[in-house]
Amino acid sequence: MKKLQDLTFAMIGLGLIGGSYAKALKNLKVKNVIGLDRNKVVTLMALDEGYIDEGCLDSLEPLRQADVIIATLYPANLVEFVREHVQYFKQDVLFTDVTGVKSNLLEQVDALLGAGRDFVSGHPMAGREGKGYGQSAAEIFNGANYIVIKREVNQPEHVQWLKDFALTLGCKHVVEITAEEHDKIIAYTSDLPHVLALSLVNSASLTPNTKYFIAGSFRDATRVADINGPLWADLFLYNKVGVIAEIEQYKKELDKWEQLLRADDKQGLLEYMEAAKQKRKDLFNAKNYR
């Protein structure tokens, strides 16, 4: 691999994450950043602001220059994009993604890329409320975690390059795990919290007067309900086995609460809450946490 400053990058999608990559890459002074978004106005904005050097407006020919392609597409669109446009990819391109579910997408993309083009899958654990290019910022990666998917088909030097690149972006930790492990853990740490936030806001208990009784706990618990619906519908459905499993596990915890309350078991409640309190302290005070 060349030095970072000698590489040409192509950003497929210039929304929240794609736009953030483009801005971070310009800060790193890479050789060239090519941008493509289905909304040409967004591509023109990124060009006008100087975060991309060239936009794919009427043709995808500029993609032929890219040494690294970062696809920030919804899961349902990733395979489709590669299938329709792989002819514009260099034979030795390093292709990576940011999808929040891996499922069987990786093998489908491998088959379309063919020999020589290496697909090293990743997932930056970075984000914020809202969506779109207007919400993007290079700083979104600062202190974040970055997941790299462990696969025997990848060239070791390309895997190492992506790990180093994540740290250069500002990420604090890089974790390498299999696609199966990724989807299982993400179902718990990402998918389930979104399910809970949405369920709280959609509860029949929410009335016009509820806003007068909201403090920090409700705001914190429902923050991610400001959601990108089309993206998350894909994520939930592609990872539905894991999400359903985590919903079932969560139901068991709610059953424990109900049993303790019905039994007026104050000591049991105290022990349950103390256990959770200690686990959270251990989690967020751990040296390997961001």
**CB-CB contact of 139 with 21 (8 Å):** no
In the 8-state DSSP scheme, what is residue 121? -
Span between the terminal Cα atoms of the chain, in Å: 28
**How many angstroms separate the CA atoms of 141 and 162, rounded?**
14
**How many angstroms separate the CA atoms of 163 and 157, rounded?**
10
**CB-CB contact of 61 with 88 (8 Å):** yes
The domain spans of the chain are 4-177, 182-285
CATH number of 4-177: 3.40.50.720
* 182-285 CATH, one of 3.40.228.10, 1.10.3660.10, 2.60.40.10, 1.10.10.10: 1.10.3660.10
Name residues of the chain where pLDDT drops below 50: 288-290
Specify the pLDDT at position 104. Answer: 84
Specify the pLDDT at position 275. Answer: 96
Predicted structure pTM score? 0.90
**CB-CB contact of 154 with 131 (8 Å):** no
Specify the pLDDT at position 286. Answer: 55
Kindly tell me the burial class for residue 46, based on how many C-beta atoms sit within 10 Å of its own C-beta (0-12, 13-18, 19 or more).
Answer: buried
Amino acid code (one letter) for 146: Y
Both tokens of residue 53? 């050097």
Specify the pLDDT at position 290. Answer: 46
**How many angstroms separate the CA atoms of 16 and 14, rounded?**
7
Give pLDDT tens digits for 90-123.
999 999 999 999 988 999 999 999 988 999 999 9
